[in-house]
Amino acid sequence: MGEQPDGKFVFQCGGSLIALFPRGSPTKADHTALSFEVQDVVAEFAALEDRGVVFNDYDLPGLKTVDHVCVLGAAKAAWFHDTEGDILCVHELI
């Protein structure tokens, strides 16, 4: 853990890995601010949706979600906004 080659800082908190991404200014980031690694991203987003979380869908070059989930290389991911508008993610390594 610790600082990664891409500049983010990763640490373990209980059973979770937390990755902090660097920002050059105090404005809101237009990218993922925090990502939570989970065992089953589909089950996790379903449980969060049941609690009222609204997930983002994307249809961009290199980033397309199907039923809220995108497969990115060795990971499945789903994104949502927190109450302050930051982009958060749950992801599963596959």
Number of structural domains (the chain) is 1
Strand ranges of the sheet holding 2-3, from the earlier edge strand across to the other edge: 2-3, 9-13, 16-20, 32-37, 87-93, 75-81, 70-72
Domain extent for 84? 2-93
pLDDT tens digits, one per residue of 33-92: 788 889 999 999 899 999 999 999 999 998 999 999 999 999 999 999 988 788 999 999
pLDDT of residue 54: 95
pLDDT of residue 27: 64
pLDDT of residue 86: 87
pLDDT of residue 30: 77
Q: What is the CATH number of the domain that holds 9?
A: 3.10.180
- Reported as a pLDDT band with limits 50, 70 and 90, residue 20 is confident
